[in-house]
Amino acid sequence: MLKYLLSSVAERHLLEAVHEELYASNLYKHISNQCQRLGLFGAAKFFKNESKEELKHYQLLADYINDRGGVAEIPEIMRANADVRGLEDALKASYEAECNLERKYAEWYSTLHPVDPVTAQFLLQFLELQRRSVGEIGDLLSRLKLIEGDRAAILLMDKELGE
């Protein structure tokens, strides 16, 4: 029998993270489908890949929980319903989700650092992943702002997103 190595606080935060990563994956699938419907095929591919990345993050969390003697249960995931009417909406929904997740990982890390340094150390990789994601999507929003609604430029940017 494995020794259970997670405090109740660590377990709660990790299970919340599992939920958030699975929700983010579903959100990106939803955004991808909306982009495809709008003819933004590059963005659809980009967000489909983002969904896959979120599933990798989920798996890292699940493996950690299982390695520490717990079980990463699959939670009920809330329906994603971002209203996507164009590339700007898609990127804004993504940016908001990534900022929200970064904030949550920072809170979980801060809470766990003094009581469970092993789990806190594990969470640092997610803070770095979120920092990069927030920066990447922020950069894309900045580029989109430079375009100022130029449809040809939006199509070019969409093409680049799919590469």
**Token code pair at residue 78:** 């809330």
For 115, residues 6+ apart whose C-beta sits below 8 A from its C-beta are: 7, 9, 10
The length of the chain, given as a count of residues = 163
- What pLDDT score was predicted for residue 5? 87
DSSP for 6-65, written as a single string: --HHHHHHHHHHHHHHHHHHHHHHHHHHHHHHTT-HHHHHHHHHHHHHHHHHHHHHHHHH
End-to-end alpha-carbon separation of the chain, Å?
48
The low-confidence residues of the chain, meaning pLDDT below 50, are none
In the DSSP assignment, the letter for residue 78 is P
Round the CA-based radius of gyration of the chain to a whole number and report it: 18
Element (H, E) at 146: helix 117-147
Q: What is the DSSP letter of 86?
A: S
The structure tokens listed for 5 are 């190595």
pLDDT of residue 104: 98
Residue 149's H or E segment, with its range, is none
Give all domains of the chain, ordered by start, each with its CATH number.
Answer: 9-161 (1.20.1260.10)
Close Cβ partners of 142 (under 8 Å, ≥ 6 residues apart): none
Q: What is the model's pLDDT at position 2? A: 64
Model pLDDT, residue 4: 82
Segment 59-102, tens digit of pLDDT: 999 999 999 999 998 999 999 989 999 999 999 999 999 999 99
